[in-house]
Amino acid sequence: MTAIIRAEALTRRYGDFFAVAGLDFEVAEGEFFGLLGPNGAGKTSTIKMIACVQDVTDGLLEVGGLDVRTNDRAVKSLIGMVPQDDNLDEDLTVRRNLEVYARYFGVPRHLAKERIEEGLALMQLDEKADEPISALSGGMKRRLVIARALVNEPRLLILDEPTTGLDPQARHLVWRKLRLLRERGTTILLTTHYMDEAEQLCDRLIIMDNGKALSEGRPRDLIAEHAGREVLELHLPPEETARVVERLAPMLGESGRIEQVEDVVYAYGVDEAHYRTVEEMASDPYRVIFRRANLEDVFLTLTGRGLVE
Amino acid sequence: MSAARATSTGRGQRVRSGGVVPWLGIAIPGPRFIAVWQRDRDVFLRLWKAEVLAPTIEPIVTLLGLGLGLGAYVELGGDRDYVEFLAPGMLMVFPMFGAMFEALFGSYFRMDQHGTYAAIQATPVRPEEIVLGDIAWAATRMALNTGLVLVMLLMLTPWLGFVKSPLVILTLPVSLLCGLLIAGVSIAFTSIARSISQLSYFFSIYVLPMFWLSGAFFPTDDLPRWADIASNLFPLYHAVVLSRALTEGDLSWGLLGNLGFLLAFLLPSLWLGIWAMRRRIIRG
C-alpha cells in the first residue's frame, strides 16, 4: 500500500508556541485515519498544513508523493476539505454552491454537472437542490459541505470535527455517509475530540496532545494496550471515594491503575471481582459503573486528563 | 528521519510556499481569479434587483438637484449650464462608491463573517487569486454602475444636452480601470480593519476627500495650490477629466497624462491590495 500522506518531524510554530511539535505519521491509500485529541492538541493545524492552507514551519510533509511546500496547487487539487465551520455561500442555492466550488477546481462544466447531481443524491440533498442555504438544517449543511468537498473527486477527504454541534440523529447520518465513502475507496482523514466517533469510524488513529502524538494504532489495540478490557468508574462523595480507593488499590495487579479526573475516579486493570467489592462498599451502587474500556480511557491513562473539558 | 533532515531547511531559509516571488512578496496570480469573479457575479445576479436601483437613481437625483437647483446660482464661463458641467462627473463619482463598497464591506464580509475566503483557500485557487478576483469584481461593479448612469444621461440628453459625443462609450473602460485602482487601495484597507465600523475611517480619510476633490462638482484649478495638487493624487480626478473629455468629445494631448496616471498606478494598486489582503488571509 502506498502512503498518501507522509509526515516526518512535522512542525508548526506561531511565535514561541508550537501548535504541532514534531509529528510523524503515514496514511495509506484507502485508509480511514483519525487524529484524536482535545481542543488545542494541534489537529486543525496539522490538517491545515496538509491542505496547504498554512505553511509548514519545519519537517517533511508529502501528500500524494508531493512536497506541500512546493506543490500547493497540485496537492490542493487532490484534496477535498470539510472545515469545522459550514462556510457555505449563504447567498446562493444548494446546487449553485457546488457549481461555484467546482469552478475553483477548474472542473469542466459537464463533468461538474454530473458529479454535483451524484453528490447531492449521495448526501440525500437532491430534494433541496434549488433551496437557499437558510432552508437547510445543521445536519444538511454538514452533508452539503461534504458533497462540496467531493466535486473534485478527491483522492483524500479531510474532515475537521465533522459532527461537532450536530444532534445525535444528524450525527449518525453523517457517520453513515462517511462509512459509505470509505467503502467506495476514498481515503479519509478525520479529526475529532469525540472518542466514540474515532472508535466507530477509524481504521487507525493517532492520539494527540500538545502538538505531539501520544500513541498510534488501531482503536481496539490501543484500548487493550493502555486501558485493558474493563473500567470501574466511581461517582461517589469525596470521603467515600477515599475509603473505596484505599480498599481497591491493594487489590489491583501490576496492570492496575487509578486515575482521578475532577470528581470522578477511574480504575483500570479491573475485573468483575473488583466491581463486586466496590459495589458492596458504596452507599449508592448506582454511582459505581463497570463498563468496557474505550478511547477516552486511553487518553486519560496517557495524560491524566479527559478529552472534552 | 533522515529524509526529514535532508529536506528540512532549518531556520532563516524557509521555503517560500505557494509560488511566492520573494521580491514581490506575492505569487503572480493566474487565470483562476476568474472563478472568484464569477462567484461574486453569481451572487450579484441573484440579488441584482436590490443592487441596481440606488446606483442608478442617486447620481441622477444629485445631478438634477444640484444642477437645476444650485445651478440657477452658478455662473460658468461661456454659455454652459452648471447641470451640463456636472453630468460627466456623475459617470465616475457615484459609480466609484460601487467599487469602494464592494472592496470594503463586501470583501470584509467574505473575509471575516461568511468564511468565503476560507472556503476558497482549500481549493487550488491561491490567496492572490482570491483577492484579484474580488478586486476585479469591484471594478466591474463600478463599470456597471457607469453604464447605468450613462443610460440615464442618454435618456435625458434630448432635453438637457448631456452627451455630445459617441466617445462617451469609452467611459466604460476608463471606469473599469479607475475601479481597479480604487478597489486595490480599498481592499488593502479592509485587510487591516478589525471590525466593520473601522471601515468608516477609510471613508473619512480617503473617500470623502477624493469625492469632493474629483473635479466633478467644481473645477479644482482655482483651489488653493495644495488642494489642487492633492486632487491630482486621487485616481478619481483623472477619471473625471477623461469622462468630461469623452462626454463632450473634446480631446487633447493632455488627456494622455491622465490616462498615463491611471495606467502607471494600476499595477502598484493591485499589488498593494493583493499583498496586504494575502497577509490577512494566510494568517487566518
CA–CA gap between residue B111 and residue B115 (Å, rounded)? 6
pLDDT for position A281: 87
A 226-265 residues with CB below 8 A of B? Answer: none
CA–CA gap between residue B260 and residue B145 (Å, rounded)? 23
Rounded mean pLDDT of chain B? 92
pLDDT for position B12: 41
Q: What average pLDDT does the segment B45-74 reach?
A: 92
Query: In this model, does residue A189 exceed pLDDT 80?
Result: yes
pLDDT for position A251: 85
pLDDT for position A282: 85
pLDDT for position B79: 77
Tell me, yes or no, whether A92 lies in a domain.
yes
Do A133 and A275 lie in one domain? The reply is no
Report the domain count for chain A. 2
A77 at interface of B, judged by CB pairs closer than 8 A: yes
Sheet holding A288-292, edge to edge: A257-261, A264-268, A230-234, A288-292
Tell me, yes or no, whether B25 lies in a domain.
no
Kindly determine whether residue A73 and residue B42, on different chains, have CB atoms separated by under 8 Å.
Answer: no
Tell me, yes or no, whether A302 lies in a domain.
no
Cross-strand bridge partners of residue B21: B26
Q: How far is CA B75 from CA A48, B71, B80, in A?
A: 64, 8, 8
CA A243 from chain centre, in angstroms, equals 38
Query: In this model, does residue A305 exceed pLDDT 90?
Result: no
Interface predicted TM-score (ipTM) of this complex, two decimals: 0.90
A45 at interface of B, judged by CB pairs closer than 8 A: no
Nearest 5°: the CA angle B106, B107, B108 is 95
pLDDT for position B5: 37
CA–CA gap between residue A80 and residue A82 (Å, rounded)? 7
Tell me, yes or no, whether B244 lies in a domain.
yes
pLDDT for position B227: 93
pLDDT digits (tens, 9 = 90+) for B210-259: 999 999 999 998 899 999 999 999 999 999 999 999 999 999 999 999 99
Residue B276: name the closest of B131, B145, B96 by CA: B131
Do A217 and A236 lie in one domain? The reply is no
pLDDT digits (tens, 9 = 90+) for A209-237: 999 999 999 999 999 998 889 999 999 99
Tell me, yes or no, whether B60 lies in a domain.
no
pLDDT band of residue B14 (cuts 50, 70, 90) is: low
Instruction: Using an 8 Å CB-CB cutoff, list chain A residues near B41.
Output: none
Do A133 and A261 lie in one domain? The reply is no
Do A66 and A113 lie in one domain? The reply is yes
Kindly determine whether residue A100 and residue B126, on different chains, have CB atoms separated by under 8 Å.
Answer: no
Are B139 and B266 in contact, with CB atoms under 8 Å apart?
A: no
- For the beta carbon of residue B210, count every other beta carbon within 10 angstroms: 21
Kindly determine whether residue B124 and residue A103, on different chains, have CB atoms separated by under 8 Å.
Answer: no
Do A169 and A268 lie in one domain? The reply is no
pLDDT band of residue B175 (cuts 50, 70, 90) is: very high
pLDDT for position A44: 94
SS (H, E, C) chain B: CHHHHHHCCCCCCCCCCCCCECCCCECCCCCCHHHHHHHHHHHHHHHHHHHHHHHHHHHHHHHHHHHHHHHHHCCCCCCCCHHHHHHHHHCCHHHHHHHHHHHHHHHHHHHHHCCHHHHHHCCCCCHHHHHHHHHHHHHHHHHHHHHHHHHHHHHHHHHHCCCCCHHHHHHHHHHHHHHHHHHHHHHHHHHHCCCHHHHHHHHHHHHHHHHHCCCCCCCCCCCCHHHHHHHHHCHHHHHHHHHHHHHHCCCCCHHHHHHHHHHHCHHHHHHHHHHHHHHHHHHC
Q: Which residues contact A17 (CB under 8 A, 6 or more apart)?
A: none
What CATH number is attached to the domain comprising A275? 3.30.70
Tell me, yes or no, whether B43 lies in a domain.
no
Kindly determine whether residue B32 and residue A106, on different chains, have CB atoms separated by under 8 Å.
Answer: yes
Tell me, yes or no, whether B27 lies in a domain.
no
Tell me, yes or no, whether B126 lies in a domain.
yes
Kindly determine whether residue B43 and residue A92, on different chains, have CB atoms separated by under 8 Å.
Answer: yes
Largest CA distance in chain A: 71
A66 at interface of B, judged by CB pairs closer than 8 A: no
Query: In this model, does residue B8 exceed pLDDT 60?
Result: no
Q: The C-alpha cell of A272 is what?
A: 468483575
Tell me, yes or no, whether A304 lies in a domain.
no
Query: In this model, does residue B16 exceed pLDDT 70?
Result: no
- For the beta carbon of residue A40, count every other beta carbon within 10 angstroms: 15
pLDDT for position A138: 93
SS (H, E, C) chain A: CCEEEEEEEEEEEECCEEEEEEEEEEEECCCEEEEECCCCCCHHHHHHHHCCCCCCCEEEEEECCEECCCCHHHHHHHEEEECCCCCCCCCCEHHHHHHHHHHHCCCCHHHHHHHHHHHHHHCCCHHHCCCEHHHCCHHHHHHHHHHHHCCCCCCEEEEECCCCCCCHHHHHHHHHHHHHHHHCCCEEEEEECCHHHHHHHCCEEEEEECCEEEEEECHHHHHHHHCCCEEEEECCCHHHHHHHHHHHHHHCCCCCEEEEECCEEEEECCCHHHHHHHHHHCCCHHHEEEEECCHHHHHHHHHCCCCCC
Residue A186: name the closest of A152, A221, A226, A235 by CA: A152
Rounded mean pLDDT of chain A? 92
What CATH number is attached to the domain comprising A217? 3.40.50.300
Structural domain of A256: 228-293
Do A115 and A251 lie in one domain? The reply is no
pLDDT for position A285: 86
When comparing pLDDT for A252 and B120, which is higher?
B120
Q: The C-alpha cell of B267 is what?
A: 499595477
Tell me, yes or no, whether A307 lies in a domain.
no
Nearest residue on chain A to B115, alpha-carbon basis: A87
pLDDT for position A261: 85
Residue A205: name the closest of A88, A130, A306, A296 by CA: A296
Q: The C-alpha cell of B260 is what?
A: 498615463
pLDDT for position A279: 87
B48 at interface of A, judged by CB pairs closer than 8 A: no
Domain boundary among A168, A195, A223: A223
Kindly determine whether residue A101 and residue B119, on different chains, have CB atoms separated by under 8 Å.
Answer: yes
When comparing pLDDT for B3 and B142, which is higher?
B142
Nearest residue on chain A to B127, alpha-carbon basis: A53
Tell me, yes or no, whether B100 lies in a domain.
yes
Q: The C-alpha cell of A293 is what?
A: 474500556
Cross-strand bridge partners of residue B31: none
Do A163 and A191 lie in one domain? The reply is yes
Query: In this model, does residue B121 exceed pLDDT 70?
Result: yes
Domain boundary among A164, A197, A223: A223
Do A198 and A269 lie in one domain? The reply is no
Nearest residue on chain A to B39, alpha-carbon basis: A100
pLDDT band of residue B284 (cuts 50, 70, 90) is: low
Residue B82: name the closest of B262, B218, B283 by CA: B218
pLDDT digits (tens, 9 = 90+) for A10-56: 999 998 999 999 999 999 999 999 999 988 899 999 999 999 999 99
Do A110 and A254 lie in one domain? The reply is no
How do strand A32-36 and strand A187-192 relate by DSSP bridges? Answer: parallel
Instruction: Using an 8 Å CB-CB cutoff, list chain A residues near B122.
Output: 51, 53, 76, 79, 81, 83
pLDDT band of residue B15 (cuts 50, 70, 90) is: low
Instruction: Using an 8 Å CB-CB cutoff, list chain A residues near B19.
Output: 72-73
Structural domain of B168: 69-283
Do A285 and A193 lie in one domain? The reply is no
pLDDT for position A21: 95
Query: In this model, does residue B6 exceed pLDDT 60?
Result: no
B204 at interface of A, judged by CB pairs closer than 8 A: no
Q: What average pLDDT does the segment B16-20 reach?
A: 77
pLDDT digits (tens, 9 = 90+) for B180-203: 999 999 999 999 999 999 999 999
Sheet holding A58-63, edge to edge: A17-28, A3-14, A58-63, A66-67
Tell me, yes or no, whether A305 lies in a domain.
no
CA–CA gap between residue A207 and residue B92 (Å, rounded)? 59
pLDDT digits (tens, 9 = 90+) for A88-125: 999 999 999 999 999 999 999 999 999 999 999 999 99
pLDDT over 90, % of chain A:
72
Q: Which residues contact B159 (CB under 8 A, 6 or more apart)?
A: none
pTM of this prediction? Answer: 0.91
Do A86 and A190 lie in one domain? The reply is yes
Report the domain count for chain B. 1
Do A176 and A209 lie in one domain? The reply is yes
pLDDT digits (tens, 9 = 90+) for A275-284: 998 888 888 8
Are A120 and A126 in contact, with CB atoms under 8 Å apart?
A: yes
pLDDT for position A307: 65
Instruction: Using an 8 Å CB-CB cutoff, list chain A residues near B47.
Output: 91
Specify the range with the lowest mean pLDDT, choosing from A293-302, B35-44, B105-114: A293-302
pLDDT for position A309: 53
Are B81 and B75 in contact, with CB atoms under 8 Å apart?
A: no
Are B145 and B44 in contact, with CB atoms under 8 Å apart?
A: no
Instruction: Using an 8 Å CB-CB cutoff, list chain B residues near A72.
Output: 17-19, 124, 126
Q: What average pLDDT does the segment A65-83 reach?
A: 95
